[in-house]
Amino acid sequence: MGLRRQNLKRRIYRDRHLYLMLIPVLLYFVVWHYLPMWGTRIAFQNVRFIGKNEWVGLKHFRVLFSSPIFLKVFFNTVAISTMKIVFIFPLPILLAFLLNEIRNPHVRQGVQSVVYIPHFLSWVVIAGVFISLLEAPDGAMNKVLGVFGFDPVSFMTSSRHIRWVFVFSEAWRSMGWDSILYIAAINSIAPELYDAATVDGASRFQQARKITLPCIAPTIITVFILNMGFFMNAGFDQVFNMMNDAVISQVDIIDTYVYRVGLRKGNFSLGTAAGLFKGIIGIGLIFTTDRLSRKLTGEGVW
Amino acid sequence: MVKIQYRFSQGLLSLFMVLLALVMIYPIYNQLVISLTGDQYIAAADGTTVIPRGITLQTYRSVLSIPKVYRGVLNSIFITLSGLVVNIAMTAMGAYVLIKKDLVGRQFFMGLIVLTMIFEGGLIPDYFLMRDLHLLDSYWSVIMYKAINPYYLIILMRFFAGVPQSLIEAARIDGYSEVRILFRIVIPVSIAGIATISLFYGVFHWNEYFRAMIYLTSEVKWPLQVVLRELIVSLEKAAFIGSMNYQKMAGAAAIPFKAIKASLIIIAILPILSVYPFLLRYFVRGRLQGSVKE
């Protein structure tokens, strides 16, 4: 015991310069991340600008859960996230399969480098581009629909369409980039498997179904589980930049609620309570999905 | 017969995929077309205009002469570059220390950092922190925001772990200080890793608007993305150019709203698109590095 402690001391002394280098790093995390975590205590307080804040227990949470607006916001968050997972999740997998089937490397790489581009654009830019694209009646979308005899629709201000605009623009932005993982997984499959299948007379489609899909299944499961862990993030930047008064009741999510009610209207405690509620659900989801991942693939989320 | 069939399906698939890529890029291309269209044709230019008529850079010249816009461009460049210096220095120091396997407390420090990926204090506590640190309306509030991204820290640790340990040990025996080993040996050897995380951090800073919008109260400090957002959301040309400037800026005032918007969108994309083809492989490698678990 005495020897180990001595050893420990010696190791710490030996690495003293490394600890010195670590100080700014740790200081950053403590100040920029852990102080705000401690700051969430205002969810249980009334904020006073003069004097000390007063503890009020769960008062703000009670207000929150009895507010029809917040319930609607919670429902919107779940609805938008669910739509995104259901409709967007399969797309990069499909894209990876199709890209993998292209034999000409120039065509394949050319397509790949184009479909990655939207990932690097800010949501401000994407909102600007989509507002133009979906404008009525001059936007490209309405022009094309007009050819098929449809009346122009103002998609951005239509509460029936706006959530589909979110799904569509999110798919546009992330489909290419998210396919990278699957492409890498497909590339790491042993070619002998395909050679054997070809000898046995399996068609390309059969090969994709019987070889490629089972081989990349662990990747698919891992990515799916990771996505579920961040389920409560329905996409703040997207919603914030694409929302407008005409559709707010359909698209207001927890994060935009925190900004609007908490920061803009100055209900700091109520906003923090809403954020904290979301954060706690998030932690729960991540730990659940980690458990699930360990069971299904033998590996945790981290 | 099989061969012909194969060629046919290959051709069809390639055609389909190329079309998909073109459709995906088209909305951006359309903005470029509108921004380049000459003012006598601009009224007729819409979402289906493929070839710009009367090509001119006049829109760009006028838009860049609006004080808000050129200040926005300069602010964005300043914030991105300063942010990058902080990001790289801090992330490299963290990664270098934390790759040492027998460092006492390493697990604890990693846990402390990884925990911040799972739980955040959130917007309002963040805002109060900036207020209490007297950083509101200071460039530092946006430069220091996400100074170390744990994902990128882990990516860089993977690159650093590839540096031969014997090289580092030899330098230690020669009496090199740790800082010198980091900057003289580890960083030069893993320059691809530095390039990768610089790209990610650079894109992040260039695209960041929200924190700048809430932290920077003076308009003169706004980066380009905040300026662009104001234009897109407010949809009001006169308010955007500013009534003060509206009289002076006859050039800008004469340009239709859609051309101003299109040119601003292109200006906001241009820096990213101009480095993109050369650095794509770093992006892709970084994406893969970040996905593999430690």
The domains located in chain B, with CATH, are 1-56 (no CATH), 66-294 (1.10.3720.10)
Instruction: Determine, for residues B125 and A26 on separate chains, whether the beta-carbon distance falls below 8 Å.
Output: no
Establish if A138 touches chain B: CB-CB under 8 angstroms: yes
CB under 8 Å to A24, separation ≥6 — which residues?
B90, B93
Give the largest CA-CA distance in chain A.
86
Q: Which of the residues A4, A32, A94, A104 would you substitute to probe the B interface, choosing the one with the greatest number of B C-beta atoms within 10 Å?
A: A32
Instruction: Determine, for residues A40 and B122 on separate chains, whether the beta-carbon distance falls below 8 Å.
Output: yes
Letter string b/e over residues A246-267, b meaning 16 or more CB atoms within 10 A of that residue's CB: ebeebbbbbbbbbbbbbbeeeb
- The model's pLDDT over A156-180, given as tens digits with 9 standing for 90+, comes to 999 999 999 999 999 999 999 999 9
Over range A188-196, report the average pLDDT: 88
From chain A, the residues in CB contact with B134 under 8 A are none
Q: At what angle do helices A213-229 and A162-187 cross, to 10 degrees?
A: 130
What is the structure's pLDDT at B279? 80
- Residue of A15, A32, A259 lying closest to B147 (CB–CB): A32
The pair of structure tokens assigned to B240 is 């955007």
Q: Kindly tell me if the per-residue pLDDT of B294 is higher than 70.
A: no
Average pLDDT, chain B: 89
Over range B183-211, report the average pLDDT: 93
> Cβ atoms within 10 A of the Cβ of B290, count?
16
Establish if B283 touches chain A: CB-CB under 8 angstroms: yes
What is the structure's pLDDT at B7? 80
Contact present, A53 and A272 (Cβ < 8 Å): no
From chain A, the residues in CB contact with B208 under 8 A are 122
Conformation bin of residue B223: beta by default, left when phi > 0, alpha when psi is -120 to 50: beta
Instruction: Determine, for residues B144 and A32 on separate chains, whether the beta-carbon distance falls below 8 Å.
Output: yes
Least confidently predicted of A108-117, A212-221, A286-295, B160-169: A286-295
Task: Give B19 to chain A, closest Cα distance, Å.
Answer: 9
- The model's pLDDT over A257-266, given as tens digits with 9 standing for 90+, comes to 999 999 999 9
Q: Kindly tell me if the per-residue pLDDT of B293 is higher than 80.
A: no
The band of A87, judged by pLDDT with boundaries at 50, 70 and 90, is very high
Instruction: Determine, for residues A98 and B17 on separate chains, whether the beta-carbon distance falls below 8 Å.
Output: yes
The band of A267, judged by pLDDT with boundaries at 50, 70 and 90, is very high
Measure the CA–CA gap between B70 and A15, rounded to whole angstroms: 48
Closest CA to A270 of A119, A67, A91: A67
CB under 8 Å to A6, separation ≥6 — which residues?
none
Measure the CA–CA gap between B261 and B264, rounded to whole angstroms: 5
CA B202, distance to chain mean position in Å, is 5
Q: Chain A, 261-300: which have a CB under 8 Å from a chain B CB? A: 262-263, 268, 271-272, 275-276, 279, 282-283, 286, 299-300
Of 3.30.413.10, 2.40.33.10, 1.10.3720.10, 3.40.190.10, the CATH number of A67-297 is: 1.10.3720.10
What is the structure's pLDDT at B250? 55
Q: Kindly tell me if the per-residue pLDDT of B247 is higher than 60.
A: no
Establish if B277 touches chain A: CB-CB under 8 angstroms: yes
Task: Give B277 to chain A, closest Cα distance, Å.
Answer: 8
- Residue of B126, B179, B280 lying closest to A36 (CB–CB): B126
From chain A, the residues in CB contact with B283 under 8 A are 116, 120
The band of B251, judged by pLDDT with boundaries at 50, 70 and 90, is low
What is the structure's pLDDT at B209? 96
Q: Using DSSP bridges, classify how beta strands A45-46 and A54-55 pair: parallel, antiparallel or unpaired.
A: antiparallel
What is the structure's pLDDT at A292? 85
Contact present, A102 and B14 (Cβ < 8 Å): yes
ipTM over 0.85: yes
From chain B, the residues in CB contact with A111 under 8 A are 17-18, 20-21
Residue B104 three-state SS? coil
The one-letter amino acid code at B261 reads K
Q: Kindly tell me if the per-residue pLDDT of B243 is higher than 90.
A: no
Q: Chain B, 219-238: which have a CB under 8 Å from a chain A CB? A: 225, 228-229, 232-233
Answer whether the bond into residue A137 is a cis peptide, omega within 30°. Answer: yes
Q: Kindly tell me if the per-residue pLDDT of B47 is higher than 90.
A: no
Tokens 């917040």 identify what position?
A: A70
Kindly report the pTM of this predicted structure.
0.92
- Residue of A25, A39, A299 lying closest to B148 (CB–CB): A25
Establish if A147 touches chain B: CB-CB under 8 angstroms: no
CB under 8 Å to A164, separation ≥6 — which residues?
none
Report CA-CA distances (Å) from A18 to A5, B93, B106.
Answer: 20, 9, 11
Contact present, A239 and A222 (Cβ < 8 Å): no
Establish if A106 touches chain B: CB-CB under 8 angstroms: no
Helix (H) / strand (E) element for A64: namely: helix A59-65
> Cβ atoms within 10 A of the Cβ of B234, count?
11
The band of B290, judged by pLDDT with boundaries at 50, 70 and 90, is low
Spans of all domains in chain A:
17-57, 67-297
Q: Kindly tell me if the per-residue pLDDT of B283 is higher than 90.
A: no
Establish if B94 touches chain A: CB-CB under 8 angstroms: yes
Instruction: Determine, for residues B27 and A132 on separate chains, whether the beta-carbon distance falls below 8 Å.
Output: yes
Q: Kindly tell me if the per-residue pLDDT of B93 is higher than 90.
A: yes
- The model's pLDDT over A200-229, given as tens digits with 9 standing for 90+, comes to 888 888 888 889 999 999 889 888 888 888
What is the structure's pLDDT at A92? 97
- The model's pLDDT over B126-182, given as tens digits with 9 standing for 90+, comes to 999 999 999 999 999 999 999 999 999 999 999 999 999 888 889 989 989 999 999
Establish if A135 touches chain B: CB-CB under 8 angstroms: yes
What is the structure's pLDDT at A251? 94
